[in-house]
Structures are given as C-alpha cells and as structure tokens.
Amino acid sequence: MKPFPLLQTFIRFFKEKNISLTQHRFLLAVSGGVDSVVLCALSQRAGLNFAIAHCNFGLRGEESNRDEAFVRSLGEQYGVAVFVQQFDTAAYAGENRVSTQEAARTLRYNWFDTLRQDNGFAYTLLAHHANDNIETVLMHFFRGTGLEGLTGMPDENREKGCLRPMLHLKRSEILVYAAEHNLQWVEDSSNASSKYTRNFFRNEILPQLQTVFPQVEDNLLHNIHRMQRTAALYNEQVAALKKKVCEIKGEEVHIPVLKLLQYRHTSLLYEIIKDYGFSESYVAELLKLADAASGKYIANEAWRIIRHRAWFIIAPKT
C-alpha cells in the first residue's frame, strides 16, 4: 500500500483556490482532537506560517483544562503562538436563550473572526472532514430540511475568512495519517447534545446502513456534491426571478401581485419572504392575501406584507 497522499490533497486544496501557501499567515482552530492535530501537522509540512487558536468553553471541568494545556504544549512543539480564550458558554446561552451548542458556535466563530482581523491572519483553517459533513447532512435530513440543508458545510466561507482544507478527507484517512506519524491527541468525552447525535449516526446508524449499502459514505458524499451543484443553479435562477418581480424601494419591496402569481410556484413565494424572516407556513397566508382587499396584511415580529391595490408591499414594522 502506498502512503496516503493526505499532504498532497491538502496542498492541492490551496492551489485550486489560488491561495498561496507561503505568502499568508494562517490561524488554525485547534481543539486538541485528532482532526485538528493532523491539521497542525499538515500545515507545518505544507510550509504554512501559522498560529493556533483554542477555545476553552469550560464545559467539561478538568478535562477542558487538560485540553488547553495539551494545545499549549502543541504550540511549543511547533514553535508557534497559541491564542486561548475562555468562554462562559452557559451564561451566554442563558442570556441569549440559545442552546449551549449554538452559544459555543457563535462565541467560537466570532472570536476566530476578531482574532484573524486583529492579528493580520489571512484565513482561519477549520479541521472539519468528510465524515463531519456526512453527519451534518444526516442531522439536517432527519430533523427536516430543504435543498440547502443537504449541501453540507462549504469548504470556504470568504465572508468569515474560513477555509476547511480537510473537508474532502475521510475520518479513516486522518486516523491512519495520525498513526503513521505517531501523533498524540486528546479525546473529548463530551456528551453535549450535538456530540451525542453525531455519535449516534457515527456509531449506530451508519454501520448498520453499511451492511445493506456498503458504499453509503461515498454515496452520501456524492449526494452532497450533486446537491451543491443543483443548489447553485437553483439559487441563481431564484435570484434572477426575484429581480424580475421585486422592486426595491428604499427599505420596502414592491411586488405586482399578478406578475408574481404567474410563477405559480409556492417555492418562489417562500424564497422571497424568507429573506424577511417569514417561515414556510406564511406562504399559504400570502396566497390568501392575493385574494384579499387592499389594506389587509400579514406580519411577523419585524415585517409586514401589505396588500396595497395590485401590489404586495413588504415593509418594516416600525
């Protein structure tokens, strides 16, 4: 067996995106788990100039501190700076009425973004891999989702300056690489809900599916790529249709009712109103409004959609 070409795959990712390996400084998001430890190793071998960012969410007591210490030692080993941030995740979640998981995500990405901009890093590198993406898509699918939810994580987010250079590598490849290079890492004993659901798919559902569909992982990765291409075309077409029917007037959007309804598709109605925070259930209301008298409206917390003569007018509430 020839050695896994992980490093070549990693390097090719940057080449294909026209991102120089040597002319930028990179920030690596490192938890201390095997994925991010391999990210460090690959980054060093690819010649990247990098520093490490580690989040201590303080959710696992002594284990959180062990992880922080491990990542600090990793920084020493590679001779690179380590930024550590402690978060009061539980307090943030309580104040903002979001789940612990959602709080951790918001805190983490906001901090990466600030750190990157304040310290002149060109990109934040995240260690998500192909199996993370499969698990993400499965969670979306079984919770209920549209086309977008089946496209998985993007391998870049230009807005946030994030790249996922390992998104096309499988967990099994990463583990083999770690073993072959005698890498050390820490295991996260966390049983937070997201973790639990991921483990459920990883350890229970997917192995069973493999007994009936041996190629299920490849099939799901193939789905993700097909859905990404379908969504790209769909989104472009929806944007073109919106431009045809929506007239932007300051903060308001004016839409001729007859023109809109000639595109009978409820899917288009949803795509238009979702930008203003209306859920799918409002589509039926909007259709009723098409038959309603001038002056009637539907509303959510921030926006009204008003029937005004032959128009729908989407306007802010205040």
Contact residues: a second copy, CB under 8 A:
141-147, 150, 197, 200, 204-205, 208-209, 212-213, 215-216, 218-220, 222-223, 226-227, 229-230, 232-234, 236-238, 241, 263, 265-268, 270, 280
CB closer to a second copy out of 205 and 299: 205
Could you tell me the smallest distance in angstroms from the CB atom of residue 315 to a second copy? 26
CB closer to a second copy out of 213 and 249: 213
**Alpha carbon distance 159, 17 (integer Å):** 15
* Contacts with 271 (C-beta within 8 Å, 6 or more apart), sequence order: 238, 242
Could you tell me the smallest distance in angstroms from the CB atom of residue 238 to a second copy? 7
CB closer to a second copy out of 204 and 247: 204
Could you tell me the smallest distance in angstroms from the CB atom of residue 230 to a second copy? 5
User: Residue 220 in contact with residue 139, Cβ under 8 Å?
Assistant: no
CB closer to a second copy out of 95 and 204: 204
Closest CA to 100 of 161, 145, 57: 57
CB closer to a second copy out of 45 and 288: 288
CB closer to a second copy out of 77 and 142: 142
User: Residue 260 in contact with residue 267, Cβ under 8 Å?
Assistant: no
User: Could you give phi then psi for residue 40, rounded to 5 degrees?
Assistant: -65, -45
Could you tell me the smallest distance in angstroms from the CB atom of residue 168 to a second copy? 17
Give the pair of three-digit tokens for residue 265.
């598709």
Other C-beta atoms closer than 10 Å to the C-beta of 151 total 23
Could you tell me the smallest distance in angstroms from the CB atom of residue 88 to a second copy? 29
Could you tell me the smallest distance in angstroms from the CB atom of residue 224 to a second copy? 10
**Alpha carbon distance 44, 50 (integer Å):** 8
**Alpha carbon distance 120, 217 (integer Å):** 38
Other C-beta atoms closer than 10 Å to the C-beta of 166 total 26
Could you tell me the smallest distance in angstroms from the CB atom of residue 19 to a second copy? 20
CB closer to a second copy out of 25 and 242: 242
Describe the crossing of helices 62-78 and 34-45 by its angle, rounded to 10 degrees: 10
DSSP 97: T
Place of tokens 């060109």: 122
DSSP 101: H
